[in-house]
Amino acid sequence: MTEDAAVPTGPGPAGTEPPSTEPPSAEPTGTAAPGAAEIAGRLRLVLADLNRRLRAQDRPTDLTPSRLSALAIIVANGPMKIGELAAQMTVSAPTVSQLIDVLQDQGLIIRDQDARDRRVSRVRASPTGLAVLEDLRKRATGLLAERIGRLPADQRTALADALPALEALAGFDRQAPPQDR
C-alpha cells in the first residue's frame, strides 16, 4: 500500500464519508446552550436559597435583616447621612431613622452631628457594630466554605471558574477593593 492510498479521497466503504479532520465540537450536536432567561431563573433561585441559609445562621435575634443591611451599608460606606442611607436601602428616611434609633440603642452605631451643618447628623459603625458584622461575615463564610468543601472536586473547579462571570454580573471591579463581600 502506498502512502497516497492511506489518505481517503472520496466516500469510504458503503458510501460513508471519510473521517473528519476537524476537531470535535465542545458541545454535543443537538444540545443548545441554555438561554439567558433559563440561567437567570436558576441563578436567582440558587442565590435566594443560599442567602436564606446564610441569614438563618446564628445571627442575634434582635438584628433583623433590615437592621443588618443598614449596618453593613454603614460599614461599607463609612459615616453617612440618614438620607444617603435611605437612598442606598431604597426606603424612606423615616424608616431609616427608626432603624438608626434601634441600632444606636443596641450600641452598634454612633450618630454624630455634621461639623459643617449642625442640623445634619451622620451615622457610623461603633466598634461593637464592626465586631458584630465581622463575626457574622466570618460565620457566613465558614458555613459557605463548609458546603463548598463537600462538593466533588469537579464542581468546586466549575464554581471557581464561574466566579469571574458572577463577579462581573454583580458589578464587582476586580481592581477596586471589595466593599462588602
pLDDT at 70: 95
Q: Are residues 70 and 100 in contact, defined by beta-carbon separation less than 8 angstroms?
A: yes
What pTM was estimated for this model as a whole? 0.64
CA 131 to chain centre: 22
In the numeric block, the cell 438584628 is attached to 63
Rounded to whole angstroms, the Cα distance separating 88 from 163 reads 25
pLDDT per position in the chain (181 positions), as tens? 444 444 444 444 444 444 444 444 444 555 677 898 999 999 999 999 988 888 777 666 678 889 999 999 999 999 999 999 999 999 999 999 999 999 999 999 999 987 888 888 899 999 999 999 999 889 889 999 999 999 999 999 999 999 999 999 988 665 554 444 4
CA distances from 61 to 57, 67, 104 (A): 10, 11, 16
Q: What phi and psi values does residue 64 have, to the nearest 5 degrees?
A: -65, 165
> What is the residue-wise DSSP string for 104-165?
HHTTSEEEEE-SS-TT-EEEEE-HHHHHHHHHHHHHHHHHHHHHHHTS-HHHHHHHHHHHHH
